[in-house]
Amino acid sequence: MTGTEAPEALAVLDRDGLDALVAALVADGRTVVGPTVRDGAIVLAELASAAELPYGWGVELDAGRYRLVRREDGAAFAHSAGPQSWKSYLHPARERLWSADRTPEGDLSFTADEPEAPSYAFLGVRPCDLRAIAIQDGVLTGGRHTDGGYGKRRKRALLIAAECTEPGATCFCVSTGGGPAADAGYDLALTEVVDEGGHRFLVRVGSEEGARLLEQVPHRAADMVTDASARAAVDAARDRMGRALPPVDLRTLLGASLAAERWDDVASRCLTCGNCTMVCPTCFCTTTEEVTDLTGDHTERWQRWDSCFDLDFSYLHEGPVRSSGRARYRQWLTHKLSTWHDQFGTSGCVGCGRCIAWCPAGIDITEEVAALHAELETEKETER
């Protein structure tokens, strides 16, 4: 993928065109990953064809609740806050980093694990997730110590965005500075339109690779009606966010709330199960484990997802630093919204709403932040 100033061309694909697009990607040897229905949810999975997209399925969301619902319009991209994010592919849950063997002479020989990265094509990346990928790019490849595996997978990945026309009840991207429109970081951006004019996708080109791909599939030039409908649907989505973070400086708020009583309240409801961090598209923490085999002559180092909710995550000589649920939830939220700025220059939250929907206990990040804000305001009032 190239920079953000790639020429913007507008085209329209119909459903056959989308079929052809996926077929072209598959023929190109790419691993196409996109949304599909499995186990009562719209999950991300490898797609063999566009027919596997969740045509006619939507979702009903609430804190701690996700239900598939049928849609009359047959739309493929009218859903949000699925149970996984793209990090499952770019930053997988388990990855072998290297192995070592004892040679017959008794020395150790080390072998770095450098498998050829798959050539992914992600189909249906939400604008919130485009931002999340950009944040993980910064975290995992932007500093002095880069994650080589992530870098290779990311470099080869083609991103086809699907703008958001159907935000869910747990969505709040607008209040994190984002929005339902894809503005950067994609090769192609689709906007789904279903009306009397038919079921079609307005396509914007974001890179040369995207332009080349579009040339391979039957499409037509964008007409004004499709263009206007697409823009109107995305604009309307902006005003239909189910939730919002309070419009205050969150970095300062969290920094000033370290001793808040609200942390005890949320800790009483928090299961410390780690689900929020696993579904978060920006949470990147991993741990490494050395695994030996029975012979004792072979060892492997594996990297795997970890979480600040895991007691082992802060385990230092003889005990975890953050043993209470309060300390762990506070660490997560404070890092996500405040110290992330200090560390990486941005917020760590894109407002995708996954942590709200997939928290079994239904803890709502926007509600917690609002409560912290209210507590701080009350405190200020009392001081006056």
Q: Which region holds residue 356: left if phi is over 0, alpha if psi is between -120 and 50, else beta?
A: alpha
> 40 burial class (0-12, 13-18, 19+ CB within 10 angstroms)?
exposed
Q: What's the angle, vertex CA 349, arms to CA 348 and CA 355, rounded to 5?
A: 120
Nearer to another protein, 43 or 134 (CB): 43
Q: Which part of the chain contacts another protein (CB under 8 A), choosing from 71-79, 192-200, 216-224, 275-283?
A: 275-283
> Site for another protein (CB under 8 A): how many residues?
49
**Alpha carbon distance 122, 213 (integer Å):** 13
The single-letter DSSP state of residue 115 is P
Residue of 29, 304, 350 lying closest to 173 (CA atoms): 350
**Alpha carbon distance 160, 228 (integer Å):** 21
Choice from 105, 116, 239, 290 touching another protein (CB under 8 A): 290
Nearer to another protein, 83 or 149 (CB): 83
305 neighbors 297 (Cβ within 8 angstroms): no
- Residue 33 binds another protein (CB under 8 A): no
Q: Which part of the chain contacts another protein (CB under 8 A), choosing from 49-57, 64-72, 191-199, 247-255?
A: 64-72
- Residue 298 binds another protein (CB under 8 A): no
- Residue 228 binds another protein (CB under 8 A): no
Q: Which part of the chain contacts another protein (CB under 8 A), choosing from 205-213, 246-254, 256-264, 310-318?
A: 310-318
Nearer to another protein, 295 or 382 (CB): 295
Q: Which part of the chain contacts another protein (CB under 8 A), choosing from 106-114, 146-154, 288-296, 369-377?
A: 288-296
**Alpha carbon distance 237, 167 (integer Å):** 6
CA atoms within 13 A on the CB side of 372: 29
Choice from 14, 19, 28, 62 touching another protein (CB under 8 A): 62
- Residue 357 binds another protein (CB under 8 A): yes
Choice from 57, 66, 150, 284 touching another protein (CB under 8 A): 66
Nearer to another protein, 293 or 377 (CB): 293
- Residue 118 binds another protein (CB under 8 A): no
Residue 223: CB minimum distance to another protein, A: 39
What DSSP line would sit under 128-150, residue for residue? Answer: HHHHHHHHHHHHHHSSSS--HHH
- Residue 311 binds another protein (CB under 8 A): yes
Residue 41: CB minimum distance to another protein, A: 4
Q: Which pair of tokens denotes residue 155?
A: 């470099």
Choice from 4, 27, 40, 232 touching another protein (CB under 8 A): 40
Site for another protein in 244-273 (CB under 8 A): 268-273
Strand partners, 41: 38
The two beta strands, 298-305 and 57-62, are unpaired
**Phi, psi at residue 15, to the nearest 5°?**
-65, -35
Cα–chain-centroid distance for residue 103? 43
Q: Which part of the chain contacts another protein (CB under 8 A), choosing from 82-90, 121-129, 150-158, 376-384?
A: 82-90
- Residue 41 binds another protein (CB under 8 A): yes
Residue of 354, 334, 326, 267 lying closest to 64 (CA atoms): 354
Q: Which part of the chain contacts another protein (CB under 8 A), choosing from 21-29, 69-77, 196-204, 294-302?
A: 294-302
For tokens 């932007």, the residue is 142
- Residue 220 binds another protein (CB under 8 A): no
Residue of 12, 178, 211, 150 lying closest to 80 (CA atoms): 178
Residues forming contacts to another protein in the complex (CB under 8 A) are 38-41, 43, 62-68, 83-84, 88, 93-94, 268-275, 278-279, 289-296, 304-305, 307, 309-312, 325, 357-362
